[in-house]
Amino acid sequence: MSSIKSDTPLARARRKADGRQNDPRLSESGVWLIVPCYKVKAHISRVIARAPDWIEGIVCVDDACPENSGDFIEETNTDPRVRVVRLPQNRGVGGATLAGYAEADRLGARILVKVDGDDQMDLSYLAQLVAPILLGEADYAKGNRFTSISHLQAMPALRVFGNGALSFAAKVSTGYWNVFDPTNGFTAIESSVARLVMERSVSQRFFFETDLLYHLGTLRAVVRDVPMPARYGDEVSNIRISAIIGPFAGKHLTNFINRILGQYFVRDFNAATIEFLVGLALFGFGMVYGLHWLATRNVHQAASAGVVMTAALPVIIGVQLLLQAMNYDVLSVPTRAIHPYLRAIERLETT
């Protein structure tokens, strides 16, 4: 649903650039920006203007924006790299990003970089973000504002605490123990991997970035963190913390259960599976036995050594086994990028 009105400055600039479409310099990087647009009319022009020259294309997705961002971009912008996609209904940041992925992939993009339209993201870090993918070291790269205390100086204390808690929950639910700051929306993904992700039921609202990590984990994709500072201006967040705590917790729990079942009971059955089952059984037995004894004992009756050991020993051993299972899980983080393999399959299928 890409559209550009024929009498706008953007359309005229695009027609002027038609003669340069076969210039090899325009397709050297294959990097495209995906910019979801919802109530960012005051900032979107700055985001487009700051895109480096080596960016091949920019897809701005008007997510049924009440400020008519798509019309504003077409009427004011003259960058020939810009494409506007309009969504008839608001899909949230995830839905807009996936629509942008599909459009850029259709136009031949190799790496898709998602950038918020509120100008919070420092585009001078674009090269660091896409480099791991270009080098074949990662399938997905994302910003991480928690690599240095100096990077957090601009972040409000409440956000630091909230992002820290969400980061630990994301490690557990996605299996990516090597990454932090999962809600960071400054991300890059290789297009062949993005196509696989677009076939899955990824959350389309504010849980998008974290849910995307979960689905990447099921593909065994390699994820790389890129250090960068937090950046805040006069933008207004559309997120209400009180409204997302409950749904986020439920989604993390669902993803964790699905991940454990899929990774350790469906696709594989290994030492961690046994440690998890035995550890959970021993821990549960010890807790139930101890609580039952406390509930049924005589008020003046002291616990014998046998009772204490029957309750405590299974709990201790169970915790140790669960920690061993967690350690196995930490060490099983994907380390070999999958997109070279996917690209090889595409080349073989097209010959």
> In angstroms, rounded to a whole number, what is the distance separating the alpha carbons of residues 319 and 74?
59
At residue 181, the pLDDT reads 87
Walk along the chain (351 residues) in steps of 10 and give the mean pLDDT of each run: 55 47 50 95 92 94 92 90 94 94 94 92 93 95 83 68 82 94 92 95 89 96 90 55 70 95 93 95 95 82 85 96 96 95 90 76
Determine contact, residues 83/60, Cβ cutoff 8 Å. yes
pLDDT 10s digits, 30-61 = 999 999 999 999 899 999 999 999 999 999 99
Tell me the domain boundaries of the chain.
Answer: 9-262, 269-350
Q: Is the dihedral of CA 220, 226, 230, 234 positive or negative?
A: negative
At residue 10, the pLDDT reads 55
At residue 18, the pLDDT reads 46
Determine contact, residues 188/115, Cβ cutoff 8 Å. no
Rounded to the nearest integer, the mean pLDDT of the chain is 86
pTM to 2 decimal places:
0.84
pLDDT 10s digits, 272-325 = 999 999 999 999 999 999 998 888 887 777 778 888 899 999 999 999 999 999
Structure tokens at 79: 């960058």
Domain 9-262 homologous superfamily, CATH: Spore Coat Polysaccharide Biosynthesis Protein SpsA; Chain A (3.90.550.10)
